[in-house]
Amino acid sequence: MNPLLDLSQRDEPIYNGWCTIPSSWSAEVMARAGWHSVTLDLQHGLIDYSHVVPMFQAIQLTGTVPLARAPWNEPGIVMKLLDAGALGVICPMVNTAEECARFVGACRYPPIGYRSYGPLRARAAFGADYEHSAQRSTLAFAMIETAEALRHLDAILDVPGLSGVYVGPADLSLSLGSAERSDPTNPHVLDAIARVAMACRARGLIAGIHCGSSAFAHQMIALGYRFITVSTDSALLSQAVRDVLEQLRGGRSSSRGGVY
Amino acid sequence: MNPLLDLSQRDEPIYNGWCTIPSSWSAEVMARAGWHSVTLDLQHGLIDYSHVVPMFQAIQLTGTVPLARAPWNEPGIVMKLLDAGALGVICPMVNTAEECARFVGACRYPPIGYRSYGPLRARAAFGADYEHSAQRSTLAFAMIETAEALRHLDAILDVPGLSGVYVGPADLSLSLGSAERSDPTNPHVLDAIARVAMACRARGLIAGIHCGSSAFAHQMIALGYRFITVSTDSALLSQAVRDVLEQLRGGRSSSRGGVY
Amino acid sequence: MNPLLDLSQRDEPIYNGWCTIPSSWSAEVMARAGWHSVTLDLQHGLIDYSHVVPMFQAIQLTGTVPLARAPWNEPGIVMKLLDAGALGVICPMVNTAEECARFVGACRYPPIGYRSYGPLRARAAFGADYEHSAQRSTLAFAMIETAEALRHLDAILDVPGLSGVYVGPADLSLSLGSAERSDPTNPHVLDAIARVAMACRARGLIAGIHCGSSAFAHQMIALGYRFITVSTDSALLSQAVRDVLEQLRGGRSSSRGGVY
Amino acid sequence: MNPLLDLSQRDEPIYNGWCTIPSSWSAEVMARAGWHSVTLDLQHGLIDYSHVVPMFQAIQLTGTVPLARAPWNEPGIVMKLLDAGALGVICPMVNTAEECARFVGACRYPPIGYRSYGPLRARAAFGADYEHSAQRSTLAFAMIETAEALRHLDAILDVPGLSGVYVGPADLSLSLGSAERSDPTNPHVLDAIARVAMACRARGLIAGIHCGSSAFAHQMIALGYRFITVSTDSALLSQAVRDVLEQLRGGRSSSRGGVY
Amino acid sequence: MNPLLDLSQRDEPIYNGWCTIPSSWSAEVMARAGWHSVTLDLQHGLIDYSHVVPMFQAIQLTGTVPLARAPWNEPGIVMKLLDAGALGVICPMVNTAEECARFVGACRYPPIGYRSYGPLRARAAFGADYEHSAQRSTLAFAMIETAEALRHLDAILDVPGLSGVYVGPADLSLSLGSAERSDPTNPHVLDAIARVAMACRARGLIAGIHCGSSAFAHQMIALGYRFITVSTDSALLSQAVRDVLEQLRGGRSSSRGGVY
Amino acid sequence: MNPLLDLSQRDEPIYNGWCTIPSSWSAEVMARAGWHSVTLDLQHGLIDYSHVVPMFQAIQLTGTVPLARAPWNEPGIVMKLLDAGALGVICPMVNTAEECARFVGACRYPPIGYRSYGPLRARAAFGADYEHSAQRSTLAFAMIETAEALRHLDAILDVPGLSGVYVGPADLSLSLGSAERSDPTNPHVLDAIARVAMACRARGLIAGIHCGSSAFAHQMIALGYRFITVSTDSALLSQAVRDVLEQLRGGRSSSRGGVY
């Protein structure tokens, strides 16, 4: 049911697109470009649940795996995302094993977890056997993005049912006192990132990370990361437009507002 | 203000429709069919708060009582549903008396509960006396759907201000280790269902349950259940369309995807 | 690109579902039931362009052919529906050859018609060759539903590029002075319906018709109709709910409002 | 079915509210205030068809008559508004008898007009007899707002099936070369306004007009106008807020942008 | 970045508009009237996150400061509101220092708080330095509206990073056993309100309060309140419409439903 | 009121962005990049009127000029776009002077045109003098994109009140029998494009054109074009994402669906 598992078993990188624009059309544009999966960002993106169903329909239409980042570690929205057809959820700010168990439990039916039964769209989309296949193939990624999470890393990763982690370099840098927000070069941050990859590999978990560029992505793949996001729809659109305007103006930029 | 209370006092069954499609038109279609109440399912349905106001307007237009199931036991959304005009809320996964008190408290103004005052649409819809009438007539249904909830049943039902319970047979079966998801026949599950009805009746609470068919509904009414949902808008539409297609094809089915 | 053409060439009936509820979820429910095509009704349905893209994405996701009925014979909306991914458009109230040419021209690029180029979503959905394949495989159905249209039938059907017709029995009955609105039995109306089928068959055009029941659909297939709609999402949902309520109430109905 | 007809037969004024904000909640606020009817303005208001169904549901919920102004004299949208549940349509810029016949024909089923049959929501909302009752009780108001319309006034008013007219003082003033846009005092404009009222009264038609204030409304009622709009939701909200801010600031205004 | 801070430093009152209608147009109408800030009420208003981005864009367009009231003290939505461009958040029902710290922490990046980094729209709207400027200029208002909050007032106000408080007179009256809901005259309630103002002033915090009228607002400014809301968009619209209808009817009211 | 006129008077090129994604956030991303104007494409883009108001608010927020392309030459939508705050409209497929007069008339108030008065949002956004300033500063661009339009070029350009033209190279190529759809190199098409520029310059009209690349844009500026669109939001996003994926995959592409 979830082709990302096959890639993972072959130790191949999963390329993941990142949607922040609340539109089923931009989601289709993203998905048609050829990512293995596309994630709807309900945390920092401008998307909420009311946009999710049409965007998942658009992503699934192209044969791409639909995922979502929850706005926070709250079981109601995690379960709604899964019922709507997410094949995996990324949960922000998982800092302890207890928080991880709360998140993972929301992604698994009893007796493993406490997910409530009623996979309305998921069962339509993934078949009558969804209840059982979902237990194996729903991906639960805990975000490791604070010093506290690093301190509890082993305990977090040992929570049964966790599929992998997703590193947020911006928050991790902030938490470790570094001023970088993307593609960090700070050795302390890079050490932590490397340590997370190794701890995942030791347990057969998928290590994922948000990258600002394909160069940093290649560096992360070399460290053992296999779930790889590069940039976002908003950032790629913004940069592409600014490049065109610079060409039109012979090199002069004239943007209005901060870059994102 | 709430005609469901009259039905309840006469010990007559309340027939409740169940909306999962996020549309004010399908809600009006449901409500015009003649249910006593129609519930918007914000947990497993594809509905969230941004769809609620127009759907409640459509339901109330037909003289049907608007209800909602909250996505989770979280006071913010419970209060928003009531302010928007719900005459009752069903809360999923109430497993302990503490959880029940948290839920019921969100449905009642002080000094009974801790609902915050500001019934913007509710006061427009139900009159200037809403603040007082709502204390009596707002229905708070706790879902009993786990083995844990059964263990704490008496304590849950004794929480002051609770109006009744709503049994989710799918989650209850899952929790009790049964493979059935609708209209259970498993004796352990049926025993639990009967026990809930009796415990409600002993306290004058309304026992509610989700049924997959009118046959099961009659069986549940015989057990003492009085708040009776049968199926959902999505399931009824899906089945009706499949029936037509089978008639067209002379009996051969050719659906695409799981049944829900 | 358009599997309906294969069915048509094999002289097999096309079963077509009819959407009037503005929701991408109910559209997916309709499409998963197994229709060959699903039509969004922008004329009498409660749908307009802003709902079309997500609904087409949902329909196409299931491998079903997306079609639409335009609100009126106006080139702007006909072209927008095609650009959004319709593989065919049904146009209401085509009463003369001129009106037919205006409609068909909006569906075909020059030199055949005057469709403006810019198939944004259609090209994404149907491939880089869309411009050429669309000329052959886009279906243009003119509605024959008035006495005037019957008078001009031959001229209408001879308009180059027309794919077929769609008979609206309600308007046709109204125009011919009959009080029936669905599945007509009036001999004058049935004669007209038979005549349209024969005139289509003589030209290799697809004869389509809106049916209220599978019984009438079989009767129409016997007459030569091959594009067969039965009922609508709203009507099927409404009837299914009323059936359930009748079962619950032991045969007594209590609906609120007219049937549709 | 349409209580406005009773008021009209008793020669009593109809007070009509005017919605320009695209929201079912502001529509309910407007309707609950006690207007006889509330009109959704799809021409100069910020409303289009996708907002109409929830707004009509909200208006009808309060027992107020739902009406709409079409964006232009185009049969597709006029019919869609009626199918969605409008009990009357106001059509802008009707300058000739031909234009009036085109508009009125879109509001009436054959043999009177050419409205297409399929009153999906209207039949649900107004009953199984809608098809017949609508012929009598659907209000068709032609806007008289240009010098050209005044020249053709008698021919326009003689179009069979017309229910009345609606005068737009802003456009009429503009067309007659007057600089006033609301509540005109220019004698030429007032003469024209008076002439329209008399011509309507002579034929038993309802004379309607858009007023900027209740003072002008009383003046128009004295002239024979009986369908009376005062201001709009946007203008009333804007003025009320500016009044509050002036009170807060002790009389100093500090608005940002033009008044509307 | 936040002009409200300048007003505050000059000890001048901030006039704040209050939006409950989910529409970017009514938000623009509110903002153009000249408030210093406009708050989107996601608690008792009919607004949720999916309406926020367009409403913030509309408010910011007029040079007015965009704020929001969160539905509840839940970090996910507080952070989403800030990322979408709120320059401040009002949090309901803050009853203890712990609850206040949970709220304030969600509004501040580490090391002060635990806000997660990803200010997508905020950075576009407020510039590349947003991360640093936001730490200083994002306003965090805790609502003081219960007897419990009054008991813990000093501890709540001493939470580092808090910008001020917002008093909800309706809930405060309810909690203190008074029947008034707006512009209280009950001496116990007024004493509590005065005490809050003094406690804020002693710490350099901004005291805010919701007023029903400009008269009460002037009274509150005299007590030391500086963040002053008067009424809401819905209430002002409703009252303005009722005034017009009373003028039309020569003084007779005929509203339908409660006043709000 | 319209800074594009200043650029035009200084004979400087206007750089215009093109929106096809129906989202106020992607519109803000486009506008912040630094275009002089941003056009919402209601013809081939996936945008309709219900998306326009929030998108115009977002564009105007950044100080960029909001424009729109109408879906077709229909006065209702042209006037709605202007009332919503467009400072100019591009009209597709203007093939004769009569069609041009119909379009231009919809953009101008009497006595120049027949635009109906009621600039609800436009007056709020552009000031109390909007009625007069709009007559001068509203831009009306007729699309020249067929052989027929070229035959009637002089008559079209001589229509009083026209501001300029907009060349659609795809449709023009199609009409002239060329297979190119973007950035044409066919000499017949390029000759026609050059002829349009000269005819505009002779009359002081603004010549506009849709370009696929900045290279073609520079070529067109050299020909005298001054209203210059390059690409679209969808195309720029799609290409940027494919570039990233190619970098990730070391040069191999794996897109799903046609390029647009």
Give F45-67 as a DSSP string: SS--HHHHHHHHHHHHHTTPEEE
Q: How confident is the model at residue C259 (pLDDT cuts 50, 70, 90)?
A: very low
Q: Tokens standing for B132?
A: 């007082």
pLDDT of residue D252: 65
Residue F60 CA: distances (Å) to CA of E130, F31, F32: 21, 8, 10
- Which residues of chain F from 224 to 243 reach within 8 Å of chain A, CB to CB? 228, 230-231, 233-234, 236-242
Any CB–CB contact under 8 A between D179 and chain F?
A: no
Q: Does residue D208 have a pLDDT over 80?
A: yes
CATH number at residue F238: 3.20.20.60
Q: Does C132 touch chain F (CB under 8 A)?
A: no
Q: Nearest Cβ partner of C118 from F43, F72, F258?
A: F43
**What was the pLDDT predicted at E254?**
58
Percent share of chain B, pLDDT over 70: 96
Mean of the pLDDT values across residues C90-98?
Answer: 98
Chain A nearest-CA distance from B64, in A, is: 25
Token digits of residue D93? 């810029």
The residues of F assigned a catalytic role are 44
Question: Which burial class, exposed, middle or buried, applies to C129 when counting CB atoms under 10 A from its CB (0-12, 13-18, 19+)?
Answer: exposed
Q: Residue F165 has what DSSP assignment?
A: E
Q: What is the pLDDT of residues F219-240, one digit of tens each?
A: 999 999 999 999 999 999 999 9
User: Residue F64 is encoded by which pair of tokens?
Assistant: 């960029």
Q: Does residue F72 sit at the C interface (CB-CB below 8 Å)?
A: yes
F135 three-state secondary structure: helix
The answer to whether residue E43 neighbours chain D at the CB level (below 8 Å) is: no
Confidence of residue F253 (pLDDT cuts 50, 70, 90): low
Give the three-class secondary structure for D67: strand
The two structure tokens encoding residue B259: 């049944």
C-alpha distances out from residue E240 to D64, E230, E246, F53, Å: 18, 15, 10, 25
A141: helix, strand or coil: strand
The C-alpha atoms of residue C150 and residue C170 are separated, in whole angstroms, by 15
Domains in chain F, number: 1
Full domain range(s) for residue C156: 3-247
* A111 prior amide bond cis, ω within 30: yes
> What does the alpha-carbon distance between residue A241 and residue D180 come to, in Å, rounded to a whole number?
45
Whole-model pTM: value is 0.97
Q: Which residues of C touch A28 (CB under 8 A)?
A: 57, 121, 124
CA–CA distance, C79 with C89 (Å, rounded to integer): 9
Return d(Cα C234, Cα C254) in angstroms, integer: 18
Give residues with Cβ within 8 angstroms of E38, minimum separation 6.
E16, E17, E18, E19, E27, E30, E31, E59, E64, E65, E66, E67
Which chain A residue has its CA at the smallest distance from B169's CA?
Answer: A117
For the cut 90, the answer to whether the pLDDT of residue D258 exceeds it is: no
The β-bridge partners of D144 are D167
Distances (CA, A) of A73 to A108, E80, E126, E239: 15, 14, 28, 42
Contact D226, D11 (CB under 8 A): yes
Which H/E stretch holds residue A15? strand A14-19
- B259 — pLDDT class (breaks 50, 70, 90): very low
Structural domain includes residue D256: no
CA distance F224 to chain A (A): 15
Best of B18, B28, B29 to mutate (most C CBs within 10 Å, chain C): B29
Minimum Cα–Cα distance from F45: chain C residue:
C120
**pLDDT band at residue C250 using 50, 70 and 90 as cut-offs:** confident
Mean pLDDT over residues A147-169, rounded?
A: 98
* Residues B127, B133, B137, B142, CA torsion sign: positive
CA-nearest residue of chain A to E52?
A46
Mean per-residue pLDDT for B23-49? 98
**A137: in domain:** yes
Could you read off the pLDDT of F168-221 as tens digits, one per residue?
999 999 999 999 999 999 999 999 999 999 999 999 999 999 999 999 999 999
pLDDT at residue F159 is higher than 70? yes
Judge whether E174 lies within some domain.
yes
Q: What is the pLDDT of residues B182-241, one digit of tens each?
A: 999 999 999 999 999 999 999 999 999 999 999 999 999 999 999 999 999 999 999 999
> And the tokens for D207?
């004379």
E206 belongs to a structural domain: yes
Classify residue A256: in a domain, yes or no: no
User: Do E241 and E247 contact (CB within 8 A), yes or no?
Assistant: no
Q: What is the mean pLDDT of residues C44-51?
A: 98
Distances (CA, A) of C79 to C86, C89, C117, F66: 9, 9, 9, 24
Lookup: tokens for B68: 């909602």
Phi, psi for residue D187 in degrees, rounded to 5: -60, -35
Q: Are residues F92 and F145 in contact, defined by beta-carbon separation less than 8 angstroms? A: yes
- Whether B259 is covered by a domain: the verdict is no
Nearest to D241 among E17, E23, E62 (CB): E17
Query: Is B58 an interface residue toward D (CB < 8 Å)?
Result: yes
Is the residue at C255 inside a domain?
A: no
pLDDT at C1 (0 to 100)? 87
Q: Could E50 and A168 be called an inter-chain contact, meaning their C-beta atoms sit closer than 8 Å? A: no
Sign of CA dihedral B187, B192, B198, B201: negative
The pLDDT-based confidence of D26 (bands split at 50, 70, 90) is: very high
The structure tokens 């790629």 sit at: A236
Question: Is residue C257 one of the residues assigned to a domain?
Answer: no
pLDDT at E253: 59
Judge whether C183 and C218 are in contact, CB under 8 Å.
no
Confidence of residue E35 (pLDDT cuts 50, 70, 90): very high
F35 has pLDDT over 70: yes
Q: Residues B170, B175, B179, B185: what is their CA dihedral angle, to the nearest 10 degrees?
A: -70
Contact call for C240 and B240, based on CB within 8 A = yes
Residue type present at position B255: S
Q: Identify the closest residue of chain F to C106 by CA–CA distance.
A: F72
Catalytic residue among A36, A44, A51, A210: A44
Count of pairs with CB atoms under 8 A, one residue in C, one in D: 76
Distances (CA, A) of B218 to B12, B168, B227, C247, E137: 12, 17, 12, 9, 62
pLDDT of amino acid A23: 98
Nearest to B255 among C15, C32, C236 (CB): C32
CA-CA-CA-CA torsion for A40, A44, A49, A52, nearest 10 degrees? -20
Q: Tell me the longest C-alpha to C-alpha distance in chain F.
A: 63
Q: Which residues contact C75 (CB under 8 A, 6 or more apart)?
A: C102, C105, C106, C114, F72
**Is E44 labeled as catalytic in the residue annotation?**
yes
* Residues E143-176: b if buried by 16+ CB within 10 A, e if exposed: bbbbebbbebbeebbebebbbbbbbbbbbbbbbb
> Which pLDDT does position B194 carry in this prediction?
98
Taking CB atoms and an 8 Å cutoff, what residues of chain C touch F176?
none
> CA A152, CA A95: separation in Å to the nearest integer?
7
Nearest to A48 among E49, E109, E120 (CB): E49
D77-93 average pLDDT score: 98
The mean pLDDT value for C110-135 works out to 97
Contact B106, E92 (CB under 8 A): no
Instruction: Specify the DSSP element, H or E, that contains A17.
Output: strand A14-19
Give chains near A: 3+ CB pairs under 8 A. Answer: B, C, E, F
How far from the centroid of its chain's Cα atoms is residue F188's Cα? 23
The answer to whether B80 and B50 are in contact (CB under 8 A) is: no
Neighbours of C32 (CB within 10 A): 26
| pLDDT averaged over every residue in chain E | 96
**Dist CA A93 CA A172 (whole Å):** 10
Tell me the per-residue pLDDT of A191-220, one tens digit each, with 9 for 90 and over: 999 999 999 999 999 999 999 999 999 999
Comparing CA positions, the residue from A206, A160, A210 lying closest to residue A181 is: A210
- What number of C-beta contacts closer than 8 Å exist between D and E? 131
Contacting residues for C33 by C-beta, under 8 A, at least 6 apart: B238, B241, B242, B245, B255, B256, C17
Q: Could you tell me how many residues make up chain B?
A: 260
Closest chain B residue to D121, measured at CA: B25
Minimal CA–CA distance to A22: which of A42, A3, A2, A1? A42
Percent with pLDDT over 90 in chain D: 95
Does the CB of D29 have a partner CB in chain B at under 8 Å? yes
F47-105 per-position pLDDT tens digit: 999 999 999 999 999 999 999 999 999 999 999 999 999 999 999 999 999 999 999 99
Q: What is the pLDDT of residue E250?
A: 87
At residue F134, does pLDDT exceed 50?
yes
pLDDT at A258 over 50: no
pLDDT at C121: 98
Quick one: CA dihedral B241, B243, B249, B254, positive or negative? positive
Q: Which of E209, E238, E243, E249 to mutate to probe the D interface, most D CBs <10 Å?
A: E238
- SS3 sequence of C139-201: EEEEEECCHHHHHCHHHHHCCCCCCEEEECHHHHHHHCCCCCCCCCCCHHHHHHHHHHHHHHH
The closest of A85, B45, B260 to C33, measured between CA atoms, is B260
Determine the Cα–Cα distance for residues B86 and B94; give it in Å rounded to an integer: 20
Task: Inform me whether the pLDDT recorded for A259 exceeds 70.
Answer: no
pLDDT above 90 covers a percentage of chain A that reads: 95
State how far residue E23 is from chain F, nearest Cα, in angstroms.
Answer: 9
DSSP F36: S
pLDDT range class, residue D1, cuts 50, 70, 90: confident
CB contact under 8 A, A236 and F253: no
Q: B51 and A50 in contact by Cβ < 8 A?
A: yes
**How much helix, strand and coil, in percent to the nearest 5, is found in chain F?**
50, 15, 35
- What are the pLDDT digits (tens) for E166-200? 999 999 999 999 999 999 999 999 999 999 999 99
Instruction: Say whether the peptide bond before residue F3 is cis (omega within 30 degrees of 0).
Output: no
* Radius of gyration (C-alpha) of chain C in whole angstroms: 18
Q: Which two tokens stand for residue F162?
A: 């026209």
Res C254: pLDDT? 58
Q: What's the N-to-C CA distance of chain E in angstroms?
A: 35
A with D: 3 or more CB pairs under 8 Å? Answer: no
Please tell me the distance from the alpha carbon of residue A179 to that of residue D148, in angstroms, as a whole number: 70
- Interval B128-160: pLDDT, tens: 999 999 999 999 999 999 999 999 999 999 999
